[in-house]
Amino acid sequence: MIRLLLGLFEMNKNALAATVPVAATDVAVSWDNLYWFLVYISLFFFVGIILAMIIFAVKYRKDVHKKPKYIHGHTGLEIVWTVIPTFLVLWIFWWGWVVYKDMIHAPADAMEVHVVGKQWLWQFVYKNGTSSIGDLYVPVNKPVKLIMSSEDVIHSMFIPNFRVKQDVVPGMYTSVWFETKIPGIHQIFCTEYCGTSHSGMLGRVIALTPDQWRDWVSGKKIDVDSLPADPTYPGFRSNHLGEGMPASQGTLTTGLSLAEKGKALTQSKGCVACHSVDGSRLVGPSYKGIFGEDVKLEGGKVVKVDENYIRRSIENPQAEIVEGYPPSMPVYKGLVTEEEIIAITEYIKSLK
């Protein structure tokens, strides 16, 4: 019976594997290994329990008049059915935790791309000042970190082939990273209901070879339709399928990098009147070398200066006052756009 069931499972293994999206990253492979381990262990216990039920039902059926031997305590059996499941559960937890840590901790050399979710499209903003709608252009074999925020409601960035999914929340930044190994088109979905055209909020990761990536960075047009289609979702070749959704705008370049745009914004909005860029003390803390460092706030609380801290300091500066500085900064919430906050953040990050 066991051989028969295992044989049937082996025959359908390829069919089962076809239900899982292609594994285009190392993290995806790791998750798939854990997934198939859970499938196999579940099958093992399923077959064992059902087989035991059948054996007992046949051996001790009513008309045979056989009674099972009465067992009053069995230390060895109790140890087995306690230790083995405990070990399995702990092993699965440890395995999942290791893969999860790999998934959430981006390498230090990851290429950063800002993502803005809005009803109902994805906007991708690159450090060189280029932006694209619907299509995320990345090189293969290069870690990419997405720093994401929303302009309106909660969205959720899901790239099945990479096995990464993260909510995109208004008023804060979340992040996720990947390193794709397969060039071509990979589908993006929004998996948090966000309104009327939620199902049409689609996008594509355009994974480029090194030569194609150099061409795209230099401003050359990439023939996306000639790239390999997503093997899991071959029908999704456009980045927007919902009725009324805008077509891809390709890439839009202003000639300034994000950091350069941020520098111009800090000057035009008067930020440099209170914040120096050379480490000198003015009304507010200096921008120089502050990103990634810990700062002490009034009341003794210590926080790390990251994208979320900078955002909070712009939109609601009175909530977290740096120790030794007066609460003199005005509230800029509603006075700066999402793209402007991104640019200012990148400028501060560039001041090492």
299 versus 186: the higher-pLDDT residue is 186
Q: Give the DSSP letter of residue 170.
A: B
Cα 138 to Cα 216: distance, rounded to the nearest angstrom: 10
Q: Position 179: which residue type? A: E
pLDDT tens string 25-45? 988 999 989 998 998 889 988
**Structure tokens, 88:** 């399995």
Kindly state the average pLDDT of the residues 54-64: 76
Domain boundary among 219, 252, 285: 252
pLDDT tops 60 at residue 16: no
Kindly state the average pLDDT of the residues 199-208: 90
Looking at the domain assignment, is residue 191 inside a domain? yes
206 and 142 in a single domain? The answer is yes
Buried-exposed string 226-250: b where 16+ CB fall within 10 A, e elsewhere: ebebbebbeebebbbeeeebeebee
Q: Are strands 135-139 and 203-208 parallel, antiparallel or unpaired?
A: parallel
Domain containing residue 315: 268-350
Looking at the domain assignment, is residue 193 inside a domain? yes
Q: Position 142: which residue type? A: K
Looking at the domain assignment, is residue 231 inside a domain? yes
Taking phi first (over 0 means left), then psi (-120 to 50 degrees means alpha), and beta for anything else, what does residue 299 get? left
DSSP run (H or E) holding 303: strand 302-304
220 and 319 in a single domain? The answer is no
What's the pLDDT score for residue 242? 42
**Structure tokens, 234:** 């071959």
Residues of the chain with pLDDT > 90, as a percent, come to 28
39 and 135 in a single domain? The answer is no
Looking at the domain assignment, is residue 164 inside a domain? yes
pLDDT tops 80 at residue 110: yes
Rounding to the nearest 10 degrees, give the CA dihedral for residues 43, 44, 45, 50. Answer: 80
36 and 158 in a single domain? The answer is no
Looking at the domain assignment, is residue 262 inside a domain? no
What angle, rounded to 10 degrees, do the helices at 75-104 and 26-59 form? Answer: 160
Looking at the domain assignment, is residue 226 inside a domain? yes
Taking phi first (over 0 means left), then psi (-120 to 50 degrees means alpha), and beta for anything else, what does residue 279 get? left
50 and 92 in a single domain? The answer is yes
Q: Position 277: which residue type? A: V
**Structure tokens, 290:** 């502050």
What angle, rounded to 10 degrees, do the helices at 338-350 and 307-315 form? Answer: 120
46 and 138 in a single domain? The answer is no
115 and 240 in a single domain? The answer is yes
Domain boundary among 252, 285, 319: 252
Least confident of 179-188, 243-252, 280-289: 243-252
pLDDT tops 80 at residue 3: no
212 and 279 in a single domain? The answer is no
Q: Position 318: which residue type? A: Q
215 and 287 in a single domain? The answer is no
Rounding to the nearest 10 degrees, give the CA dihedral for residues 150, 168, 217, 237. Answer: -100
Q: Name the residue among 93, 87, 102, 79 with its Cα closest to residue 26.
A: 102
**Structure tokens, 312:** 């909070």
Contact 23, 164 (CB under 8 A): no
CATH of the domain at 13: 1.10.287
Domain boundary among 197, 223, 252: 252
Cα-Cα end-to-end distance for the chain: 67
Least confident of 53-67, 99-113, 237-251: 237-251
Q: Where are the beta strands (DSSP E) in 134-225?
A: 135-139, 144-150, 155-159, 164-168, 174-178, 184-190, 203-208
Looking at the domain assignment, is residue 260 inside a domain? no
What's the pLDDT score for residue 56? 82
Mean pLDDT of the chain: 83
Kindly state the average pLDDT of the residues 191-210: 90
User: What is the number of domains present in the chain?
Assistant: 3
Q: Give the DSSP letter of residue 283.
A: S
With tokens 């900064």, the residue in question is 329
Rg (CA), the chain: 27
Q: Position 134: which residue type? A: G
143 and 167 in a single domain? The answer is yes
Backbone angles phi, psi at 148, to 5 degrees: -120, 145
99 and 116 in a single domain? The answer is no
226 and 336 in a single domain? The answer is no
Buried-exposed string 92-127: b where 16+ CB fall within 10 A, e elsewhere: eeeeeeebeeebeebeeebbbbbbbbbbbbbbbbbb
Looking at the domain assignment, is residue 257 inside a domain? no
Contact 194, 184 (CB under 8 A): no
What's the pLDDT score for residue 352? 83
CATH of the domain at 309: 1.10.760.10
